[in-house]
Structure 1
Amino acid sequence: MPRNKISDNIEGIIKYLLTKKYSYSVIQEELSEMNLNVSRSTISRIANQVGKQRQAGLLNSQKPKYYRRRHVATPAVVRRITSYINKENPRTISLMAARCHIGVGTTFRIIRDVTHAKCRKKRPVHRLYPAVIEKRRSRAWRMYRRLCNGRYKNYVTTDEAWFYLDSSQGVRDIYYVRSNEIPEEVKKIERNDLHPVAVLVWAGVSAHGKTQLHFIEHGSTITSKYYIEHIIEPFIKYDIPRLFPGDARKRMILHQDSAPGHVAKDTLSYMKEHNIQVIAPHEWLFKSPDATPMDYSILGTMKERVRKHKVSTLNGLKNAIKQEWENLEQAVIDNVLENWPKRCRLIYYAHGSHIEHLLQ
């Protein structure tokens, strides 16, 4: 049986009452006072038509507004959220909202508009003890003087780093279970965190190019003898003539960290015999990865690029490292080395403390 069609006048009255945000029951009462009997389904149908017209832009060109009562940011709630964000380890916005019994959006607006605060991520930095801070302060300016005015171009900075094989091999660590199904067995992903598959790599950079890569043999300890035979001798034979040909070799200075094999007497004596200038252990910045180009940039960039390779074997990892080392642009190296003197100067100005906040 077809339903009775209402007149355009009645439909216009219902649309007008809908714009007043009246409920369906209130609209029915208003129409009954006019001796008009209209069902709630008819009112709902007209309301749906109005909504579709708004979405299609037929009624007006403005975006339909949805009115919803927001949580009130009372002074007590504001004080509580302010106490949360002033802590050393603040809670997440979701947890603050749950504790205050308000919405996440309200919590975000209180932090942004009322307290005028912004969320920032903490920077990971290395730990500095008082003795290390004092050594950094006393040596930073001397190191800066050695590097400033382009003198950093005479240096070859080197370091070792571990490259780890991704144990997951691209396997996702999540899975879905339907609510009406009970899994027969909980799925697992195996990891070998105690003995991860990794390779130790030695490398160096300069303003004139890159050194050769040297993979440290598995199970080997970088003693003075191993360091000389497997790294320093090939470095003197192949890398120095290529990077500093002719008389430029006399200006070349090797920069390395304070690993036991690097600062051993035999190592330093061997370099002195072969006229290799090395920064003395009492001159370089002690435990300062923020002042070592290989630590604060080069090796991190290499690891990010190698991580993009989907390799599952140790040989595949080595090939990926070799490929990315060949593809490492000299412009990237030059930009990193240019910031080296600046970082040493900032450490001096910071009295040996952290400088990450000064590098914005």
Structure 2
Amino acid sequence: MGRGCTSRKYIVFTVLTLSVIVCSAPDLIFYLLVGFVPKFWNQKFYKAAGLMYSCETVVDPVMLVLVLEFEREKRGILKLAKKLCPQCLPSKRTEDLIKKVDAATDVDNPPTLDQMAERYDVSEMTIRRILSKNLKSDLLKKTKTHALSNKQAQQRLDRGPLFLKLLGGDRWKNVVPFDEFWLSMNDCGGIRDCYYRKKGKPVPESRTKNLKQTFPKKVMCAAGVSYSGATGIYFVPPTNKINSAFFLNNIVKPMVEKDVPRFFPGEEHKVILHFDSASSHTTPARGQWYNVEHHRRILVTERHIHKPDWIISLPVRDSTRLGFPHIRHSHHHHTAVQPHHLRPVAQQRALCPAAYMPNRSLLHGRVTIVLIGPLGHLPYTPVNTFINIFIGISVLTWINSAVIFANFAISVDRWLSVEFVVKYRASITHRKALVAGILTTFGATLILNVPGSIVFRNNQHFEPCAGLRTNALPGDVVFLIWLTVKGPVLFPLLFLSQLRIMIVAVRLKLQAYRRRHRLEVLPAGQAPPCEILVIYWGSFMCSMTIVFSTLISNIPNYIMIIVKGAPPSARLAGVYMTLVQHCISPVIYLLFWPLYRQAVIRLFRRVRAVVRAVIKPNTRVDPHSRKRRQPQIPQIPG
């Protein structure tokens, strides 16, 4: 019984399967013909297939049309848009309206788009089309500017260089701008401008209206901001009377005693406090406090017009009154001795050891060219041989190592300044940079060169016939290690530091580039390689030129020293190749570094002033004086 039921089930399932296959056979055959026919069959076959298919009992003409349109698109035959007959509608952009819009926009105070649309009874889009297509004009926003008179413009031109000189160098980092402001209580505990409506619950009418408060509750505050951070917020009680005494005792002194030591530990004498020239800031009482505490005030002639600022500089003298007992006192008057943070920028930059690198390199080139040539032609005597070996090998080797170490110190300084921006720039000073430069450039090179020159003195030879001074290899590894430690070992580190600088700089440059061109869609979210190359090379062309010249000029010399059996002419050429970096480094600095170029110009001016003083002793010449062209006063309409 069970076996018979099972056989019947199989029979019924088989019959249903065959019926489904028979009913769907025409559709299956047609889709196979449409989807898998070769591409070289023409479109007539599809029409014939459609006719044959339409003769069947089940017809789907919509599917047939879609399939045929899909095949046309695959073959590149696009369906043309349906052409409509002319609507014969009157155009709103008439000649009369165009003239009216042109006349309305050609005035000093033109109307807006919605005002013109309401005035001429047209839509705003019609006005936009008239401006863009007929008049070829754009709608732009006015630039906010100061309305200055001729006298004010002349004052700005005269006081601008003084003000910029005051903030020159890194002194802008020590400025703490300070100002007052109001805080409205509506910002935190006022009535919000929103409400919620729930289904099935009526909303009271009082919730739907936003009542504007004419006189909201406010509180007056004062705060400052600097490069190192923001100061605390000082609240002014509403019942207190605001005058110079209150401002001095409750705002200025607490800020000087609490915030300034926190942001500038050990450098409080460099801080410049910046206030506006309000009545409570410029009273005689506050000026007397400035004089008592020996603060320096910026005169009116040093400030910009229409920028009524009041700047004071914290002194070194009498600092214990302000809560700085750890500062060393100065017994000179503040006006007699110019403080460090008010010196010219060139005097501060002169302490940087990086500025001496091209001078040392040029010194090496001058010593090599001026002394080595004549020394090689001296008679062959023991004294002349010692002079050639000492100056031509020991001294020049030490100078060459000093130049390489200076280049490495500069690269490490640049890497630290871009890798640890805040921490390194906040901790580094001119004195620290000077000590590090002297120890790295002179101390380390002396320690590495002097003992080796004494130990391997028997391996230093002078060939008077060829004029070649070489260090012969003694056959052990110690000499090779000493030769490598003096300079070549720094080449990989120099390359790695420059590579890291390049990576950080290119990343920042690309971020700035994408911010400027954020509307442009770049392929795959990346910039083209040519743009990356331009960004990189434009920023590091000068630095990498120094590095490449150092590598190119030093590697052949070390190869000729290591290779045994090299001819004297090849070794002499390797020695002369090292002069390339020393002769080209000052030129590269003059071309690519404006600060170095300005320092060289100042040096020549001082030399010229000294020469003129020697030639004409009765005339007094100031080397820092410079005739400036009188600026033209812009004529501003009244």
Band of TM-score, shorter chain: 0.5 to 0.7
Instruction: Tell whether the 8 Å contact from 1:254 to 1:279 is kept in structure 2 after alignment.
Output: no
Residue 118 of structure 1: CA displacement? 1.6
**What's the counterpart of residue 169 of structure 1?**
191
What secondary structure is seen at the aligned counterpart in 2 of 1:119?
coil
1:190 matched to 2:211? The reply is yes
Query: After superposition, what is the alpha-carbon deviation per residue over 1:20-41, rounded to whole angstroms, capped at 9, x for unaligned?
Result: xxxxxxxxxxxxxxxxxxxxxx
**Which of residues 93, 98, 101 is equivalent to 1:81?**
101
The answer for unaligned runs of 5 or more in structure 1 is: 1-52, 174-183, 293-329, 331-347, 354-360
Instruction: Tell whether the 8 Å contact from 1:158 to 1:203 is kept in structure 2 after alignment.
Output: yes
User: Where do 1:64-213 residues align within 5 Å?
Assistant: 69=89, 71-123=91-143, 128=148, 133=153, 135-166=155-186, 169-171=191-193, 189-193=210-214, 195-213=215-233
Query: After superposition, what is the alpha-carbon deviation per residue over 1:38-64, rounded to whole angstroms, capped at 9, x for unaligned?
Result: xxxxxxxxxxxxxxx9xxx99987788
- For residues 159 and 145 of structure 2, the distance between their equivalents in structure 1, rounded to whole angstroms, comes to 20
Instruction: Tell whether the 8 Å contact from 2:150 to 2:634 is kept in structure 1 after alignment.
Output: no
Query: After superposition, what is the alpha-carbon deviation per residue over 1:273-328, rounded to whole angstroms, capped at 9, x for unaligned?
Result: 33444434553334438x99xxxxxxxxxxxxxxxxxxxxxxxxxxxxxxxxxxxx
Aligned length: 235
User: Where do 1:270-349 residues align within 5 Å?
Assistant: 270-288=289-307
- The structure whose RCO (Cα within 8 Å, separation 6+) is larger is 1
**What's the counterpart of residue 375 of structure 2?**
none
- For residues 207 and 70 of structure 1, the distance between their equivalents in structure 2, rounded to whole angstroms, comes to 64
**Which of residues 223, 232, 236 is equivalent to 2:243?**
223
Structure 1 residues 79 and 275, CA gap change in structure 2 (3 angstroms): same
- For residues 207 and 61 of structure 1, the distance between their equivalents in structure 2, rounded to whole angstroms, comes to 65
What secondary structure is seen at the aligned counterpart in 2 of 1:262?
coil
* Structure 2 counterpart of 1:279, one-letter code: I
- For residues 163 and 131 of structure 1, the distance between their equivalents in structure 2, rounded to whole angstroms, comes to 37
- For residues 65 and 161 of structure 1, the distance between their equivalents in structure 2, rounded to whole angstroms, comes to 66
Query: After superposition, what is the alpha-carbon deviation per residue over 1:145-198, rounded to whole angstroms, capped at 9, x for unaligned?
Result: 21233321121111112233448732269xxxxxxxxxx99x8543332x3322
- For residues 81 and 251 of structure 2, the distance between their equivalents in structure 1, rounded to whole angstroms, comes to 69
The answer for unaligned runs of 5 or more in structure 2 is: 1-64, 196-204, 311-421, 423-630
Residue 80 of structure 1: CA displacement? 0.7
- For residues 184 and 175 of structure 2, the distance between their equivalents in structure 1, rounded to whole angstroms, comes to 29
CA RMSD across the alignment: 4.2
- For residues 256 and 247 of structure 2, the distance between their equivalents in structure 1, rounded to whole angstroms, comes to 12
TM-score, normalised to structure 2's length?
A: 0.32
* Structure 2 counterpart of 1:169, one-letter code: I
Structure 1 residues 272 and 72, CA gap change in structure 2 (3 angstroms): same
* Structure 2 counterpart of 1:256, one-letter code: F
Moved more, 266-275 or 230-239: 266-275
Residue 127 of structure 1: CA displacement? 5.8
Structure 1 residues 215 and 143, CA gap change in structure 2 (3 angstroms): same
- For residues 147 and 119 of structure 2, the distance between their equivalents in structure 1, rounded to whole angstroms, comes to 34
Instruction: Tell whether the 8 Å contact from 2:93 to 2:126 is kept in structure 1 after alignment.
Output: yes
TM-score, normalised to structure 1's length?
A: 0.53
* Structure 1 counterpart of 2:290, one-letter code: M
**What's the counterpart of residue 253 of structure 1?**
272
Q: Give identity over the alignment, percent.
A: 24
- For residues 240 and 349 of structure 1, the distance between their equivalents in structure 2, rounded to whole angstroms, comes to 42
1:238 matched to 2:283? The reply is no
- For residues 154 and 98 of structure 1, the distance between their equivalents in structure 2, rounded to whole angstroms, comes to 55
Instruction: Tell whether the 8 Å contact from 2:154 to 2:633 is kept in structure 1 after alignment.
Output: no
- For residues 88 and 160 of structure 1, the distance between their equivalents in structure 2, rounded to whole angstroms, comes to 37
